[in-house]
Amino acid sequence: MFNTVTIVGVGLISGSFSLALKERALVKKVIGVSRTEASAQKAIELGLIDEALPLEEAVKQADLIYVAIPVDATIGVMQQVMDMVTDKQIVADAGSTKHALCAAMDVHPMRRRFVATHPMWGTEYSGPEAAVRNAFVGRSCVICEKEKSDAAAVATIEEVYRQLGMHLVYMDADSHDMHTAYISHISHITSFALANTVLEKEKEEDTIFELAGGGFESTVRLAKSNPAMWVPIFKQNREHVLDVLNEHISQLRKFKACLEKENYTYLQELIEQANTIKRILK
Amino acid sequence: MFNTVTIVGVGLISGSFSLALKERALVKKVIGVSRTEASAQKAIELGLIDEALPLEEAVKQADLIYVAIPVDATIGVMQQVMDMVTDKQIVADAGSTKHALCAAMDVHPMRRRFVATHPMWGTEYSGPEAAVRNAFVGRSCVICEKEKSDAAAVATIEEVYRQLGMHLVYMDADSHDMHTAYISHISHITSFALANTVLEKEKEEDTIFELAGGGFESTVRLAKSNPAMWVPIFKQNREHVLDVLNEHISQLRKFKACLEKENYTYLQELIEQANTIKRILK
C-alpha cells in the first residue's frame, strides 16, 4: 500500500501503528521522527522504524505522514508538515482531541491532504517500549470531518484502519471531543483521583500491595498514564471535561448522601442504574 | 483433607471455592445450601455441589462449613450454624466485612470453631454461573482475629487457602474493614458512579458502545456488580466507606479546580502523584 510511511513521534500509538503496517506488509519502509536520540535509537532497536530522520527529510520521503505526539505539540508540528506536503502525500494524526487541530487546519491551503483520525485504542504506558503487536484490533477509529479531506486520501486511510481490524465511526470534531470526554477522558480523571485517594488514606503501602485485588487494579490502571499526554488533552478539551467531571462529582455525592442518611433503598437504586451499563458494553 | 464440605450459598465465591477444592482433591463431597431451588439445581448441573440439602442436615454432615452469602444475611445464618456445630467441625466465612460478624461471634460458646476469612478475589458477576476454575490463585486472603479460633482449625483453613494458591495476611476485624474500604469498597463506588455519570451525560447509547475502549471498560467493569452483595457491604462498613468517599470527592475537586483555574502545573503534579501507584501495584 505504501512505499514509505513517516511516523512523527515514536511511542505507544505510532510504534504500534508501524508494527501493524509492517506485519500486514502494508509498508516497505518506516521512518521515525523523534525529539530525542534515545527514543529514536530505541525505536530502531525494537524494529518500530527502519531509520530516524529530521522532520523535513522524513516528510519529503513519505507517502503517508502519521503524527502521534502529545496534542499540545500536534498543531505546531502539523503546520510544519502541511507546509511541506504535496498533492501526492497524505497526512493523518491520531490525537485524542480534534476540535483545536481541525480548526487550525481549516485555514491551511493543503487541508484536503489531511485526514483527522483517532484510533480508540491505547494502554496506560508510553514511549517506544510501550508499542505492541496486535494493537487496534476490534476497536473503533473515529474519522473527523472527512468531507474536508480528498476522497481518495480518506479512502486510503479508511482502508489502512480496516486492515488493522478497526471499525470506522464518523463525527465532526466538536462531537468527537464531547463524546471522548464522556467515554474516555473522565475515566482517566476518575482513575488518577482514585489513586490519589488511596495513597492519601492508606499510609501502609505494603497493605495496598498485599490487598489490591483485580477490582482495584482494574479501576486504578489508567492512573499510570503519562501526564505529558494527558495534561494537554484535558487542557484542549477543558469545557467538555469540566462538564462531565461536575456530573461525576454530583453522582458521587448521591452515594455519599445515601450513606450519610442511611437511605439504602436509594443506594440500591443507584447501583441498579449503574448495572444497566452491562447492556451497552460489548 | 475433608470428607465433606458444606457451602452455604452457591455463588461466585462458594462455587469457585468448591471447584478449587475438588480440582485439588481436597474434598470427597460438597453439599450446597441455597435459598432457591433454581440455584441449587444450577449448582448441581455445573458440578459445584454434589447434593443440595437444608441447612441443618447439610451442617450435620460437614467437616467444614463455608459460608459465602451477602453480609447482611451472614450473621443470622452463622448463628444457626454455630448453634449446631461440634468440636469436630470447622466453620469459616468469606465475607467482605468482618467487624460486625466477629463482634457477633465473640459471644458464641463455640467461637473457637469459627475462622473469619476474606479471600481477596472476585469478579463483577454473581450466582452459580459466575463460579470459575483457578479462582483465588496469587491473591491474598485475610484471616481476622485468629487468636480467637482453635489453633488446629486455623491451621487447617490456612492450609486450604495455601493449597488454593493464596498468601495469608492477618488483621483484626476493624483494620480489615478500614483497609478494604480504602482498597476495594471505594473502587466499587467509583465505578458505579462513573457508569451513572456516563449514562447521564451520553444520551447516545450506540456511541458508548462504539467508542468504549479498554480504558473505559476497565474503570467501569465493577459497575456491573450485584447490589444484593454491595448494599450490605456499604451498610456494614458505612463509616470507613464514607471516610474514603469524602477523600475521593475532595481529590476529584482538586482536578476540577485545576481545570477551572487553568492551573496546569498543579494538574501535572496531581497526575504525577497518581502515577506513583505504579510502584505499589504488582
Residue range B54-92, pLDDT digits in tens: 999 999 999 999 999 999 999 999 999 999 999 999 999
Q: How confident is the model at residue B281 (pLDDT cuts 50, 70, 90)?
A: confident
Chain B residues in contact with A127 (beta carbon < 8 A): none
Are A280 and B208 inside 8 Å of each other by CB?
yes
Structure ipTM: 0.94
Chain A residues in contact with B270 (beta carbon < 8 A): 192, 196
Q: Is the pLDDT of residue A128 over 80?
A: yes
Which residues does residue B141 pair with via DSSP β-bridges, in sequence order? B119, B168
Among A274, A267, A271, A210, which residue's Cα sits nearest to residue B182?
Answer: A210
> What value, to the nearest 5°, has the Cα angle with vertex A198 and ends A197 and A202?
125
Q: How confident is the model at residue B214 (pLDDT cuts 50, 70, 90)?
A: confident
Are A202 and B183 inside 8 Å of each other by CB?
yes
Residue range B224-244, pLDDT digits in tens: 999 999 999 999 999 999 999
Q: Is the pLDDT of residue A282 over 80?
A: no
Q: Is the pLDDT of residue B276 over 80?
A: yes
**Full DSSP string of B87-145:** TT-EEEE--S--HHHHHHHHT-TTGGGEEEEEE----S--SGGG--TT-STT-EEEEE-
Q: What structural domains and CATH numbers belong to chain B? A: 2-171 (3.40.50.720), 176-279 (1.10.3660.10)
Question: Radius of gyration over alpha carbons of chain B, in Å?
Answer: 21
Q: Is the pLDDT of residue B260 over 90?
A: yes
Q: How confident is the model at residue B208 (pLDDT cuts 50, 70, 90)?
A: confident
Which candidate from B169, B194, B214 shows the least CB-CB separation from A190? B194
Q: How confident is the model at residue A147 (pLDDT cuts 50, 70, 90)?
A: very high
Among B164, B175, B170, which residue's Cα sits nearest to residue B146?
Answer: B170
Q: Which residue of B has its CA nearest to A224?
A: B275
Distance between CA atoms of residues B249 and B268, nearest Å: 19
Q: Is A208 on the interface with B (CB under 8 A)?
A: yes
Are A277 and B195 inside 8 Å of each other by CB?
yes
Are B209 and A280 inside 8 Å of each other by CB?
yes
pLDDT at B31: 98
Which candidate from B189, B254, B271 shows the least CB-CB separation from A255? B189
Percent of chain B scoring above 90 in pLDDT = 94
**Full DSSP string of A84-108:** H--TT-EEEE--S--HHHHHHHHT-
Contacts of residue A170, defined as CB under 8 A and 6 or more positions apart, other chains included, come to: A142, A143, A144, A146
Q: Is A87 on the interface with B (CB under 8 A)?
A: no
pLDDT at A193: 98
